[in-house]
Amino acid sequence: MTAPWLAPAAARSIPVLLGLLLLALTVSITAIDTLLALLIVATLLALTDPAERARYRLPLLLPMLTFAALTLVSAAAAADRAGALFESKHLIGLALFFIAANGFAGGDAVRRGLRWFFAAVGAVSLHAIVQTLACETPLALPGWVGVALRVKLEACRLHPFRAKGFFSIYMTLGGSLMIALTLGLALLVLGRRVPARSLLVAGAPAVVALGLTYVRSAWLGLAVATGILIVWGRRLWLVAPLALGMLLVLAVPSALRTRLLSFGNPEDPTVRERLYFWDAGRRMIEDAPLLGLGPGGVHRAYPAYKNPAARKPHTGHLHNNLVQIGAEHGLLGLGAWLWIWIAFFAGAGRIYAALPPARADDRALVAGSIAAVAAFLVAGCFEYNFGDSEVIDLLWIVMAFPFACAGEGSRPATAAPEPV
């Protein structure tokens, strides 16, 4: 028996923990894992209350359970069963979707959390910009600057630096900024009661920082999301300034222009390497079509499938979600994975259509969620962002926004602290 006050207290803590998690998703994997564990414990305690269990909603449960079950079956059938089962730990992140869908008491609660999140994104983006300036300048800087910016000044000046912020790699920063900018643009284009100044203050450095990551897949994902939102919001006039900005980038000689022009160039070394990765993945799928090699199987088996012309002797990911999941989870797991996204788009689309025009800000959240998922999937055609824990954890939360808005009024609102 639990104390009668414990379940309500746990339920009240969930929105606060979700707000803190949104902040942590921009800076620290350790904080993310800690808050995720606290959220799972708080949810389990809250569900000891029969009334809370009766209110709890489980959208997308069947496709997510199917994917989880097939992942575990694939792990059990893998050559390295223990290693594959350990790599299946990424399934824990699925809980975030259900926790967020129920933990946010409607659109207002989501927007309160996003105010904190966008402020953090702006601060992290400024940090990434200063980080890049410090690594690119020829001036001698004191050692404490590198410590404060979380870079090794001697090492980062040996090659063109790619902004990474507080993350271990630029790909994570690029994916996170792609999702954040998509949400901010959706609120600006489709919302009514939007703090436009605050979003622009955070968004401007975020655009610059995203450029400085040189992550082309994130640029492409954001471009697709932007196109979706411009057409959705009937703001076609936005095409002109965006096109002008792109022309300026292409007109001025820079590393940014070089990176843009290399996209899709078969002579580009990174493009060729991706083709080698994908070919290796195709052969992995041919050898284990139904259940794949098991989670983590690409890292273990890649040397045996490596193209002789490939530069990298080892890799843990094949720079494509479809190829990676097909190789590790098999075609059955890949089908279940695709089912998750199809079910999400169908469910979120129904929610958007059902929301009245008077709830324009909630509709903006739903549209932003849909566009962010589309951006993620497009970027995932050129990187394995489903395996990037910070990015996918953020996406699980963002995917919950439509269902939180649809369930508004089904549970008592819990006030979240206002940002200072």
For the stretch 39-76, pLDDT in tens is: 999 999 999 999 999 999 999 999 999 999 999 999 99
- Helix and strand numbers (H, E) in the chain are 19, 0
% of the chain residues with pLDDT over 90: 69
pLDDT tens string 173-192: 999 999 999 999 999 989 88
**Average pLDDT for residues 240-251, to the nearest whole number?**
71
What is the pTM for the complete model shown? 0.92
**152: CB partners within 8 A, 6+ apart:** 146
C-beta separation of 328 from 294 below 8 A: yes
**Average pLDDT for residues 289-307, to the nearest whole number?**
94
Local confidence band at 199 (pLDDT 50, 70, 90 cut-offs): confident
More confident residue, 5 or 7: 7
* Rounded Cα gap, residues 407 and 54, in angstroms: 13
C-beta separation of 286 from 280 below 8 A: no
**pLDDT value at 96 more than 80:** yes
**pLDDT value at 240 more than 60:** yes
**Average pLDDT for residues 98-112, to the nearest whole number?**
93
